[in-house]
Amino acid sequence: MKLTYSLVLFLLFSVLSSKSYAQHKLVGSVADIKDLAKLHQASIALLSPKDSILVKFGRTKENGTFQIANLDTGTYKMVVSYPQYADLVKDIHVAAEDLDIGIVKLSKAALLLEEVQVNGKIPVVIKGDTIEYDAGSFKVEKDAKVEDLLKVLPGITMDGSGKIIAQGKEVKKVLLDGEEFFGDDPTLITKNIRSDMVSKVQVYEKKSDLAVRTGVDDGERTQTIDIKLKEDKKKGMFGQAVAGAGTDKYYGGKVMLNKFKGSQKIAAYGILANDGMVGLGFEDSQKYGVGGSSNVQMMDGGGIMISSSGDGSDGGWDGNYYGGGVPKAVNMGASYSDKSKDDKHKINVNFKRNQINVNNTSTYNAQNNLPERAQVDNNVTASETETQANIANLRYDYKLDSLADLTVTMGFTKSSRDNLSNSEADQRKLDGTLITRTSSKTDLNNDQDKFNVNAMLTRRFKKDRRSITFNVNANTDQNRNKTQYFSENFFQSSGDTTLIDQYKNDKLANNTYGASVTYSEPLSKRLTAAIGYAFNQN
């Protein structure tokens, strides 16, 4: 028996060892065939020779070199690509050691000997700072959504809450054909656009509007995924509707409608459910829910301290539903975007209304064995919470001429949160004799109105990177909190009863106005000077 275990362990160790040492790397460089100029940001893709499925990919550094690590022993189809050069395909074999293929020479005009120009689709192409995936090269199930496609793309991951990580950075924007769709909510694209409608998926760090207009990099970056639709999918109407019902009067339903016609995109959705579905997917219970918490704490001297969690953007509601109680969701939204044929006018408008009602009852019973006595603590708490948020956003872009652009953005949020909580608690001896009894009632009300507007005008000059930009903005934030707290405490030993009845009313207002002007002037091919002045008032 001992010999058997030794043999098994030896074989297992051998297998693991062989696998760990079977990882190798591919190194080389890419250059122009004529002058051997190093090609920066050339893409290298390694495909399976059987089905052309992407295995690994990388790109060259500034000196033209590249390195692809963690390769298993075997044969690969290597595809090397660079803009305005012929794509190159070459079979390579990774044996028992690292493989150095030397200099890969690309030609602008002729095919290389023993190599073939690629006319088919390449799964991944790196164009400068943009990684482009060919959607048709990755297999997904029939009727899969964009989120299913993203999950199989190398370098992209998605967790259960819908957060997307691309190339190690969290994705903040998901665009549809380069335009925002329902504002900054990526789930309305990832959960409702079918994957078979997608032609390309692009991943890049989006520059700020100011940097795009002036050509001067201000360092601001937003990790972005751009979903490119197939041409024949840019027109027509499509959508989905799902409904269900169960025992104990539970129900859930959602509907999503889309109408595309060229650059014009119209969409609307609605959700009505009390079965825990508060988002656009049945599995997604962490979008558009009611979250955060409120706490009333008694202070020395009879005062009260009220605290609440949440970022305050939606009246103390952080956008999450944490699973307490049974939520009833009534959510809806609509979006419209279009641009003129000459690209002078571009507009994007979206509206969302989210409402969650939650009833929650909790019971707590515990026996505490204290040094002086043992006692039983009992507590029953019932709460009702209603949260509402109405959110509207608008963006309008106007190209005055070939050298001037105007962008106006507006946003409005009106939200409220009402929470009514009743609690009954007592402490008793093990024989049931009352020690203390407490009853309390808390009524919390929060209303918040937020509005912002921003206008940016950029005038470029004939000299490249010379420009002047004017920016004005205004923001208002009105927050109102009302809290009423009542409690009655009875002490059996003394027969005393204490009463607390307090009311608190807070009003907070924050208004901000600002303006700025920025002028940029090129000093050389790579250097640009920028000078500006900004004014802000609260």
What's the CA gap between 258 and 264, in Å, rounded?
11
Residues 205 and 215 in one domain: yes
Residues 277 and 353 in one domain: yes
The answer as to whether 207 is a domain residue is: yes
Q: Rounded to an integer, what is the distance from CA 413 to the centroid of its chain?
A: 20
Residues 429 and 514 in one domain: yes
Could you tell me the two tokens for 130? Answer: 């943009």
Q: Give, in order, the Cα–Cα distances in Å from 491 to each of 97, 99, 299.
A: 81, 83, 19
Residues 229 and 240 in one domain: no
3-class SS at 208? coil
- % of residues, the chain, pLDDT over 70: 83
Residues 222 and 320 in one domain: no
Q: Which of 188, 207, 233 is the last residue of a domain?
A: 233
pTM of the model: 0.71
The CATH code of the domain that includes 147 is 2.170.130.10
Please determine, for residue 20, whether its predicted confidence score (pLDDT) is greater than 70. no
The answer as to whether 425 is a domain residue is: yes
Q: What pLDDT digit, counting tens, does each position of 112-165 carry?
A: 333 444 445 667 777 767 888 899 888 899 889 999 999 888 888 887 667 898
Q: Give, in order, the Cα–Cα distances in Å from 141 to each of 148, 152, 194, 466.
A: 8, 11, 11, 51
pLDDT band for 376, please (50, 70, 90 cuts).
very high
What is the reported pLDDT for 347? 96
Neighbouring CB atoms inside 10 A of 314's CB total 27
Q: Which of 193, 210, 233 is the last residue of a domain?
A: 233
Contact, 463 vs 450, CB < 8 A?
no
Residues 421 and 362 in one domain: yes
Of residues 11 and 31, more confidently modeled? 31
pLDDT band for 324, please (50, 70, 90 cuts).
low
The answer as to whether 9 is a domain residue is: no
What's the CA gap between 177 and 44, in Å, rounded?
26
The CATH code of the domain that includes 47 is 2.60.40.10
Residues 434 and 315 in one domain: yes
Residues 180 and 99 in one domain: no
The answer as to whether 7 is a domain residue is: no
What's the CA gap between 45 and 57, in Å, rounded?
4
The answer as to whether 492 is a domain residue is: yes
Q: What pLDDT digit, counting tens, does each position of 396-420 carry?
A: 999 999 999 999 999 999 999 999 9
Residues 425 and 458 in one domain: yes
What is the reported pLDDT for 122? 66
Nearest to 120 by CA among 87, 91, 76: 87
Give the burial class of 428: count Cβ atoms within 10 A of its Cβ; 0-12 exposed, 13-18 middle, 19 or more buried: middle
Lowest pLDDT segment from 101-105, 156-160, 451-455 = 156-160
Q: At residue 29, what is the residue type? A: S
Q: How many domains are contained in the chain?
A: 3
What's the CA gap between 144 and 90, in Å, rounded?
33
Residues 501 and 451 in one domain: yes
The answer as to whether 16 is a domain residue is: no
Please determine, for residue 282, whether its predicted confidence score (pLDDT) is greater than 60. no
Burial 74-86 (b: 16+ CB within 10 A, else e): eebbbbbbbeebb
Residues 113 and 41 in one domain: yes
For 68-82, give the secondary structure using H, E and C: EEEECCEEEEEEEEC
Distance between the two ends of the chain, CA-based, in angstroms? 81
Point out which residues pair with 75 in neighbouring strands.
Answer: 93
Q: Which long-range contacts (CB under 8 A, 24 or more apart) does 109-118 make?
A: 110/86, 111/86, 112/33, 112/86, 112/88, 114/90, 115/88, 115/89, 115/90, 116/89, 117/86, 117/87, 117/88, 117/89, 118/79, 118/81, 118/87, 118/88, 118/89
What is the reported pLDDT for 286? 34
Please determine, for residue 460, whether its predicted confidence score (pLDDT) is greater than 90. yes
What is the reported pLDDT for 55? 84
pLDDT band for 521, please (50, 70, 90 cuts).
very high
Q: Which of 126, 148, 182 is the last residue of a domain?
A: 126
What's the CA gap between 365 and 532, in Å, rounded?
64
Nearest to 358 by CA among 391, 401, 388: 388
Domain that holds residue 31: 22-126
Residues 205 and 244 in one domain: no
- Sequence-distant (≥ 6) Cβ neighbours of residue 289 within 8 angstroms: 278, 279, 319, 320, 321, 322, 327, 329, 356
The answer as to whether 298 is a domain residue is: yes
What is the reported pLDDT for 96? 76
The answer as to whether 457 is a domain residue is: yes
Point out which residues pair with 324 in neighbouring strands.
Answer: none
What's the CA gap between 356 and 63, in Å, rounded?
56
